[in-house]
Every structure is written in structure tokens, then in C-alpha cells.
Amino acid sequence: MAVLAGIVALLVATPAFAIDAAVTSLYGGEAIACSKLKFRYPQYTFFPGTSGYAYETRTSYWSATTFSSPACVFVPQDVQQVSYAVTTITLTLSKFAVRGGGHMPIPGYNGIDGSGILLSSSNLTALSLSPDKSTVSVGPGNRWRDVYGYLKPSDLAAVGGRVGHVGVPGLLLGGGISFYSSQYGFASDNVVKYQCVLSSGLVVEATATNAYSDLFWALRGGGNSFCIVTRFDLKTVPSSKVWIGIAQFGQSQAAGHLDGVYNFGKYGAPSDPKAAIIPTVLTFPASNLTIYVAAKFYDSQTDSPNAFENFTAPKLTPVAESYSLQPLSDYVASTDALQPLGLRQEFRTLSSIVHRDAVQIIHDTFLSGVNLKLSTVKNLQASFTFQPVTKDFLSHSAKTGGNPQGIDITKAPYFWIVENWTWTEASDDTLVRTAADQITADINQLLQARSFNAQYLYMNDAGKGQPVFQSYPAANLRKLKAIRTKYDPFKIYTNLLPGGWKVDNA
């Protein structure tokens, strides 16, 4: 430690460019970086064995598959400290991860093991309304429940996540589906400014019209290859109360539920942009039980008599129902318990055109695959969710500067489907992941055979290895790569920050 202390003193006193790469190689870049961070910010740098380290590497994560053991954790308090950390990490060639909400369940995507460094946004939680209340500035340490709770007294909301403990940065950098999407597009279509730290340590602000407009475009669905975002300025939307809640249906109502999914995707959502729905099928193989649910949302204080007619009597009679007029923030807070922390999770995504046969193929293939391959997995819960995507949803991107996804609006509406597996034992990880790959491949093969498949893969629901950027238009991917080269020529956010989908690897 005496040697490291001497190196730390040298680093503090020496211009950044003078650091000797040989010293970094000899003593280990991450060890030097951790010591430098501890020297400069002792109260915000945590090592193994401390309570701060335990909290940042366990408590803040949704899935137990992403618990991590970095060399140290740094929790910056403002953008200047983020810049200092990036410069320190870059100069010492240290591997690192950045955690926002910690909801992505892929190991290594929001955490890092071994000698790597974790930058946690836990304390970057500033929230402020503009004087005219048209925008809200949001720090990346916030979850969507924080944003909605902050806006509630002003009778406002934002186009953001549908689950309270999902983090702000992950959702926005992947595009982001919202209850409000048919009215306002992707959540990222409603960002008006990004404050971020480039790999050089320079702090910049990107908008649709300033000198960083290309970076602004890239951040609206291009992931984390470009910069670390330290503030999102979002448009607000009026919202005092909305009609929202969950309806649950019995196994005997499966056919009616699937009919409702198709009809809403084909006719209901396109005819009324204020209506949104999250229809989900959950199965518990050990109990031979399958449950059909639908989270319903209507953006008005006056309920629509027609928007959800396929999920209400006489067509379907729920066995349980919580749909009511309430603030969005109240609903989001109440439903966090439905996705408890600390279990093991896995995602996959796929997409299809809206066709009743496609709905049936996805339903039957998923359930049969889970029962065949995973019936022995302890405490397994598996689900798939249809996310209706309308032409109205996709039309908003072009109105606000465009985005990298480049989805073909002429073939809308679509279903973007997320598959989710939940279990408890680490010994089952390989079995579940292998089965998830195979079930997803089987569904895609059947959809493709009937020309029901669609190209786009939604980043925020994808599993490791799914070709997200390959589903973007080739010209957009080339543009993303050029922007990456411009703002991060040494690939700091590609090679030293290995987690996430990287445009250069597509």
C-alpha cells in the first residue's frame, strides 16, 4: 500500500498526460484508479467489506444474476465527479461498469467483477422543473417512481417507464416504451437535452439543434457507446389522474384473452392513442397453473366505454380487477411488489406483425417449451407480454428529430414481445438460459415460416447475444458507428466499459 500511496500522490500532482502506461501495467490500473478515487473522494469510494460496498453491489439490483464484486465502487455526487472518475479510469486503462437503476438482468451489463470499477449513480438524483413546467431535469440515479412522485403535486407526468423501480437512464438510452407512447412516441423521443461526459472527461450538452445534434440523435436508442449521461431534460405531460389497473383472468379464459390481445393490437390501440395495455401470460410449471392478466391504462379522468371492451364483461369477466381512477405515481408505487428484488431473472425479446395466428403461435410455443424444458426448475415463473406498437407511436420520432431505430412504420401495428423467466437457484442458470434461447428460436422460426415475424428487436427487453443493432437499418448503424468514432475515438466506452450492446460489435 505504501507503493500505491506514492503513486496516488504522483497522479494527483502530475498532469494527466504524463502518467506512464508501464506503471499502470506493473501495479494494475484498477488498483491505481481505486486508490486515486479513495484519496480524492474518501467518503464516496467503497471497498469490499464495507456497508457501502455491500449496498451498491447487491441491494440496488433487481436480479440476483447481476450481483457483482468489483475492486471498488465510486458513487459520484455531481457531473464534475463523474468527469474526474472517467478521466482517472481512462488514464489507468481500467475496466468499469456504470449502474443506473440496475434493472437489466444480464450479468456484466450494469455491474463488473474482479478488478473492475463500478460507477454508481445512486446519488445523482436531482429533480427540477423548469419555470414554465414544460420540462423536468432528471438525474440518472432516479427510478421512474421517483420522477412520477416528484411531478405528482404539479399534476404532471413524463413519458417514461411502466414499472416504478426501472431506472431512468437504461430505459431512455434503449428508446423506452411508455403508457403514453401512442400519444408521444418512445420515451427517448421526449428528451430535449442530454448532459453527458465524453470519454475525454469533457462535459457537454446535446440537443436536436446545437453542435452536438448528432450525439443527441445517437442517444435516443443507441445505448451506452457514446457518453455517460448525467442529466436528462424531459418534456412533461399533463396528468393529474388516469384510469389504470390490472385485470386477472382464469385459465379457462385463455382463448378470449388472446382474442382481446389481437383485437386491441389490430383495432383498439390504433383507434384511441390514449389507451394502452400490457397483456401478460404467466405460467408456473410446478403448479400446472397459467394466469392471464392485462394492465390497462387510459389517459383521461373519464373512462372510455370501448377501449377495453374485449377485456371486460360480457366478453371477459375478470376474476380480480384493480382498474380505477388514480395518479400514475400511486399505481406505479403499488405495483413494484409484483416484481420483487433479489430473484434470478432472464429476458428475451422478439417481434411480430399483429395477426391472430401469430398470437397463438407465441402462446402455444412458449408454454409448451417451458413445460417441456423447465418443469424441474425450483420456483420457476415464466411469462410473456405482448406490447402493442401503433403507427401513432412510431410517427412521433420524426417530429422530434428522429432516432436510430428506424422502424418501418408502413408495416405497423406490431407486437413487441418480452419473455421473462424468474427462478431462485444459481445452479439452474445454465438450464434456464439455454431453454430461453431455444424457446425464442422456436417461436421465431414458426413466425418466420408464416411471414409473421418483424425485424426490430427492442433493446430494453433483449437477452445477451440478441442482435439488437443488426435489427436497425444498415444506414443508421453506420451512422451510429461514425458518431461513436467522433466522440470516443479510443473506444473507451466500448472496450473499457464492456457492458451493454455496443454499436461497434454489430
Reduced to 3 states (helix: H, G, I; strand: E, B; else coil), residue 418 is: strand
- Give the domains, in start order, of the chain with CATH numbers: 2-120 (3.30.43.10), 127-239+473-505 (3.30.465.10), 242-326+342-470 (3.40.462.20)
145 vs 139: CA distance, rounded Å: 13
> What is the pLDDT confidence band of residue 401, given thresholds at 50, 70 and 90?
confident
Percent of the chain topping pLDDT 70: 94
> What is the pLDDT confidence band of residue 173, given thresholds at 50, 70 and 90?
very high
pLDDT digits (tens, 9 = 90+) for 316-358: 999 999 999 999 999 999 998 888 999 999 999 999 999 999 9
pLDDT digits (tens, 9 = 90+) for 128-172: 999 999 999 999 999 999 999 999 999 999 999 999 999 999 999
At residue 197, the pLDDT reads 98
197 vs 130: CA distance, rounded Å: 22
469 vs 395: CA distance, rounded Å: 20
> What is the pLDDT confidence band of residue 29, given thresholds at 50, 70 and 90?
confident
Contact 347, 462 (CB under 8 A): yes
381 vs 296: CA distance, rounded Å: 22
Per-residue burial over 99-117, b = 16 or more CB atoms within 10 Å of its CB, e = otherwise: bbbbbbbbbbbbbbbebbb
pTM: 0.93
pLDDT digits (tens, 9 = 90+) for 63-79: 999 999 999 999 999 99
Quick one: CA torsion of 487, 147, 394, 474, rounded to 10 degrees? 20
Closest CA to 295 of 239, 266, 334: 334
233 vs 465: CA distance, rounded Å: 31
Close Cβ partners of 291 (under 8 Å, ≥ 6 residues apart) = 248, 249, 250, 251, 281, 282, 283, 284
H runs (alpha helix) in 230-355:
254-263, 269-271, 328-335
> What is the pLDDT confidence band of residue 28, given thresholds at 50, 70 and 90?
low
H runs (alpha helix) in 41-152:
51-54, 79-91, 144-151
